[in-house]
Amino acid sequence: MKAFNLFLLVCLSFSFTNLASAETYDVTIEPGNVYNMAAFRMWTPEGVDKYRGILMLNPGSNSDGRDMVADDYWRDFARKHNFALMATFLQDHLHENMMIEHYIKVWDDSGKAIMNAIDHFAKESGHEELSYAPFLLWGMSAGGEINHEIASWVPERVIAYVVNKGGYYYSSVPPEATRKTPGLYSIGLDDLPSRNLMIKGMYLTNRRAGALWTLAEEKGVAHEVAGSRDLAVAYYEAIMEMRMVDGAIGYKSLKPVTEEMGTVGNIYNHTVGRVEEARKEDTTWLPNEDFAKLWKEHVSK
């Protein structure tokens, strides 16, 4: 009897360890119309019964970002918030101007590849909720471009997203639902004028139409991450507090956001607070007072 009890205890301990351990999964999807390569990796933190969302990590132009799920910075965030990490490797078919990425056209078939990969990971991990989990979107350069396109394609799936120093955007005038989805638009003032003018013009046009977006221009920064990652995490957490319901699972449980729920900053003099006569396009939406302080420090340092 003692031997049986010991055997049972070992089996139970093994089962518990399997359930509690972190896991990494990989999948590659067949080439499609706008991409030659679509490979994905997911990392799931240990000890989570139901994942609240997916933080999608998108790299620069035609790059393999799959190792990003091993970054302790993002793993700590995933553990803190019960999120899965998913990183992408999307690459164009060869064409004349490879710097103008075709794979970011997610409404064609690269978006379907992303969703198929998520469904695969949901099945492989035994976490069905991943198939309908909402997204946080991080990316730099072309990673920011595809974030904007995902938010324009399936805004209902997106909690918040970051556009970070990219140069090409097919959906510069997105659907109204995207304007109601919080987005952080990050510019390095020493980056190429073509990138900065594209992002700022897109921001101003949509902010004028009421977009709940945040513009963050960083001095002394070129085409690099710099302080945008820390600011993005603060932004994510502020928006998650506004949009995510404790205990609720799935993107359909996300709460809407309105202009009045936050405050505003002036993108030129960096003051914070509403001014009656201010033009909408001169302002930036800030989700709360704590984030407003971080934004002011970020843009004025």
Distance (Å) of CA 174 to CA 179, 207, 208: 7, 12, 13
DSSP strand pairing (83-91 vs 53-58): parallel
Q: What angle do CA 143, 147, 152 make, to 5 degrees?
A: 150
The C-alpha angle 280, 285, 286, rounded to 5 degrees, equals 150
* pTM recorded for the entire structure: 0.92
pLDDT band at 273 (very low <50, low <70, confident <90, very high): very high
Provide the token pair at 139: 């990316």
Residue type, 299: V
Residue type, 74: W
Q: Give whole-number Cα distances, 208 to 6, 173, 181, in Å.
A: 69, 12, 15
Q: What would be the CATH architecture of the domain defined by 22-300?
A: 3-Layer(aba) Sandwich (3.40)
Largest CA distance in the chain: 82
Task: In whole angstroms, give the CA distance from residue 101 to residue 202.
Answer: 18
Q: What's the mean per-residue pLDDT of the chain?
A: 93
Q: Each residue of 116-147: pLDDT tens digit?
A: 999 999 999 999 999 999 999 999 999 999 99
**Per-residue CA distances from 198 to 4, 128, 214, 295 (Å):** 69, 39, 15, 21
What pLDDT does 257 receive?
A: 98
- Which whole-number Å values give the CA distances from 130 to 52, 54, 118, 121, 177, in the listed order? 8, 7, 7, 8, 22
| Burial status of residue 224 (CB atoms within 10 A of its CB: 0-12, 13-18, 19 or more) | middle
What's 15's DSSP letter? H
pLDDT tens digits for range 80-122: 999 999 999 999 999 999 999 999 999 999 999 999 999 999 9
Summarize pLDDT for 56-77 with one digit per residue, the tens: 999 999 999 999 999 999 999 9
43-58 pLDDT, tens digit each: 999 999 999 999 999 9
Handedness of CA 76, 79, 83, 86 (dihedral sign): positive
Looking at residue 7, what is its pLDDT? 34
d(CA 78, CA 81): 5
Q: Where are the domains of the chain?
A: 22-300
Asked whether 240 and 81 are in contact (CB, 8 A), the reply is: yes
Residue 4 has pLDDT above 60, yes or no: no
Indicate the Cα dihedral angle 189, 195, 199, 200, nearest 10°: 50
| pLDDT given for residue 22 in this prediction | 87
> Average pLDDT of 281-289?
98
**Number of C-beta neighbours around residue 28 at 10 A:** 13
Q: From residue 295, how far is each of 108, 158, 219, 235 by CA, in Å?
A: 35, 22, 13, 9
